[in-house]
Homo-oligomer: A and B are copies of this chain.
Amino acid sequence: MSRKEFRDLASPEAAREAIDSLSLEGGIDRVELEDARGRVLVARLDAELDVPGFDRASLDGYALRARDTFGADEADPARLEVVGAVHAGEEPTIDLEAGQAVEISTGAVMPSGADAMVPVERTDRVEPRSTDSANGDAVSETAEDGDEVLIRTSVAPGDNVMFAGADVAAGERALGPGTTITPRDIGLLSALGVDEVPVRAKPRVGIVSTGDELVRPGGDLDSERGEIYDVNSYTIAAGVEDAGGEAVLYPHAGDDQDEMERVLREAADECDLVLSSGSTSASAVDVIYRIIEEQGELLLHGVSVKPGKPMLVGRLESSAYVGLPGYPVSAMMVFRTFVAPAIRKAAGLAAPKAATVSGRMARSERYAEGRLRLMPVGLVTSGPSEPAHESAGVDGDGKTLVYPVDKGSGATTSLAEADGVVTVDPETDYLEEGESVTVDLFSPDVQPPTLLGVGEDDPTMNRLLDGLENPRYLSVGSRPAVRRLREGVPDVAVIAGPLERALEAEEIGRWSREWGLVVRPGNPQELEGLAELVDRDLRFVNRTTDSGLRSSLEAAVDDLAADRGRDRQELIAAIDGFDLGLRAHESPARKVIAGDADAGVGLRATADRLNLGFVPLGDQPVRVFANPDRTAKESVQELAAALEEPPTEH
């Protein structure tokens, strides 16, 4: 088997430059004002009119000539004749003369002849019938010839009047090119009567996902054939939209060259940028490589970064092209680091505010491949209670611990358990525990978890977690949880079944759960207990040794061996499938449903939930232990309080 090798890896800087050299920009859109929020103005916008368009009363009161009020005060008010009224939205018909006043409401046009106004609070109408008026109409009716008003203050010309153009003047520069339109800008545009603005078109980004094994979410999956759901398409699409682009999903191309070429050309024709991703198979990568090299222009192949080595950068027809790695975590990391900034720039958006956190490595990390490493990490705060939302983990006070998140190169989901990225330069091959690192958060909105729990997967624990704000729980199993708690990273560990040795940690709560054999609905094979797995010809499915269920099962086998006076290994050898350990607590039950097994180890809760039969073998304790350094942490105390009411399984 021969493969394309990456002999001369480009530097990350060269990759950035190659992508910067591509043109991703779309054209110009004209959008209505109500759709303008967040869009980027392409040209300067000048005011085409004065705001306000007329001299406008700033308050309710009386319009008058300022000189008629000179010398007036509370003791010696000026007395003016009220010759009419003008309300907002009315054209004044009066031409005011000396000694006269016009009742005016806020926002109304100042009548001709008036040069100032006095607020109603500093006046008294001298006709008694005016005092019972409660609304504008009534007031309007009272404003007849013969009324008079006492003005108890003096004003200068222009007082309480907003002159035409005082807010925005016709011809004034209103918004500059490149402005990202905020609600406040929409206020300005509204005032100017603008109902449509020219904005940068969002760069159209076509996403071509390849691979015969991929099925779109929602479709039927055939795991026997090795099918998996397509993770990259929707994830990259969401990333494109986050970066200000418009994502266009193309139908899956298989690994066939003609089909792939047809889809890539269609996407290149319709989009400013085409991203391919999806299949990890060397054949698909080779096919795409060939298409870009032969039919387009290949600028770069292979970058000295991990993850991201197999990145391609080039052009196809008039479109830019970037080939992302197939593994979802790699694809997202490369997208985020190299592609998203280019999309933002093409969209005219400013680089997002750097959102970084300083922290200490929670454990040492070795890596020596000589490539720039983009290391996804999770955060946990080691300090006592802090405001949950605003600063948890986002401080530089040494309370933030940083741990690498890595579920293996095939993992699709690790980024959902990560908060950001530590960039490790190629020369660094070892990060010490306690070493200070800087984490780039995935976005300024990232809220690091308030609680980090690890341990057994358990339905009761899941419900308890639902009651906490923004917890993170890694269901690694009971045995790894013990190890991780000893290493000091998580806040709490959840351990099911027997403990091999005492833990130096505070137990903050426990409950008990019923475990046993999950069997077909109605237990048609009439299993009664563990003995029959040994004695009868039944196919069994176990859990991995990490699991507390496995520990309890092994203890039960020991008991049975002791009862029978036989060696435990003999019994184990007699159980068909004892060594077949599945990681997930529901997986044995699902094997039973699929007909691949007669019985699996599991919980009554699982059997009930999946409508399966259940043969009880015992109760096991589930214990929650707090990290001794974190007992004062707010979220740990909240969990402890929730555990005081003994949780019940249901």
A163 CB within 8 Å of chain B: yes
Compute how far the CA of A139 lies from the CA of B3 in the bound complex, rounded to whole angstroms.
Answer: 11
A27 CB within 8 Å of chain B: no
Number of copies: 2
A164 CB within 8 Å of chain B: yes
B191 touches A226 (CB 8 A): no
Compute how far the CA of A89 lies from the CA of B227 in the bound complex, rounded to whole angstroms.
Answer: 5
Compute how far the CA of A457 lies from the CA of B582 in the bound complex, rounded to whole angstroms.
Answer: 74
Compute how far the CA of A86 lies from the CA of B225 in the bound complex, rounded to whole angstroms.
Answer: 10
Q: Which residues of B contact A215 (CB under 8 A)?
A: 193
Q: Which residues of B contact A170 (CB under 8 A)?
A: 584, 586-587, 590
Q: Which residue of B lies closest to A282 (CB)?
A: B60
A176 touches B408 (CB 8 A): no
A354 CB within 8 Å of chain B: yes
B166 touches A407 (CB 8 A): yes
CB distance from A410 to the nearest CB of B (A): 4
Q: Which residues of B contact A644 (CB under 8 A)?
A: none
Q: Which residues of B contact A365 (CB under 8 A)?
A: none
Q: Which residues of B contact A412 (CB under 8 A)?
A: 51, 167, 187-188, 190-191
Q: Which residues of B contact A137 (CB under 8 A)?
A: 283
A381 CB within 8 Å of chain B: no
From 58 to 90 in chain A, residues with beta carbon under 8 angstroms from any chain B beta carbon are 58, 60, 86-90
Compute how far the CA of A88 lies from the CA of B326 in the bound complex, rounded to whole angstroms.
Answer: 13
Other than the known A107-B226, A182-B416, A444-B444, what 20 A-B pairs have Cβ atoms closer than 8 Å?
A1-B120, A2-B132, A2-B134, A3-B120, A44-B462, A49-B590, A53-B227, A53-B228, A106-B281, A107-B228, A166-B407, A167-B407, A169-B457, A171-B457, A172-B585, A182-B442, A189-B217, A190-B235, A191-B231, A196-B218
CB distance from A241 to the nearest CB of B (A): 6
| Mask of A571-591 contacts with B, CB within 8 angstroms, 1/0 | 000000000001111110010
Q: Which residues of B contact A219 (CB under 8 A)?
A: 193
Compute how far the CA of A198 lies from the CA of B60 in the bound complex, rounded to whole angstroms.
Answer: 51
Compute how far the CA of A409 lies from the CA of B212 in the bound complex, rounded to whole angstroms.
Answer: 65
**A168 in contact with B234 given A134-B286, A176-B466, A281-B107 (CB within 8 Å):** no
Q: Which residues of B contact A109 (CB under 8 A)?
A: 223-226
| Mask of A117-132 contacts with B, CB within 8 angstroms, 1/0 | 0001000010000111
Q: Which residue of B lies closest to A416 (CB)?
A: B188
Q: Which residue of B lies closest to A109 (CB)?
A: B226
Compute how far the CA of A172 lies from the CA of B229 in the bound complex, rounded to whole angstroms.
Answer: 17
A569 CB within 8 Å of chain B: no
CB distance from A512 to the nearest CB of B (A): 19
Q: Which residue of B lies closest to A242 (CB)?
A: B183
Q: Which residues of B contact A236 (CB under 8 A)?
A: 183
Per a CB cutoff under 8 Å, which of B134, B226, B457 touches A172?
B457
B44 touches A466 (CB 8 A): yes
Compute how far the CA of A443 lies from the CA of B228 in the bound complex, rounded to whole angstroms.
Answer: 40
A566 CB within 8 Å of chain B: no
Per a CB cutoff under 8 Å, which of B34, B135, B235, B352 touches A183?
B235
CB distance from A486 to the nearest CB of B (A): 23
B173 touches A193 (CB 8 A): no
Compute how far the CA of A610 lies from the CA of B136 in the bound complex, rounded to whole angstroms.
Answer: 40
List 15 A-B residue pairs with CB atoms under 8 Å apart, sorted by A's residue number: A1-B130, A52-B410, A88-B279, A89-B214, A106-B280, A107-B213, A164-B583, A169-B582, A172-B585, A187-B332, A190-B217, A190-B231, A191-B413, A193-B219, A195-B217
A190 touches B233 (CB 8 A): yes
One of A13-21, A467-475, A496-504 contacting the partner: A467-475
A287 CB within 8 Å of chain B: yes
B225 touches A410 (CB 8 A): no
Q: Which residues of B contact A105 (CB under 8 A)?
A: 281-283
CB distance from A229 to the nearest CB of B (A): 5
A221 CB within 8 Å of chain B: yes
Per a CB cutoff under 8 Å, which of B136, B235, B352 touches A186?
B235
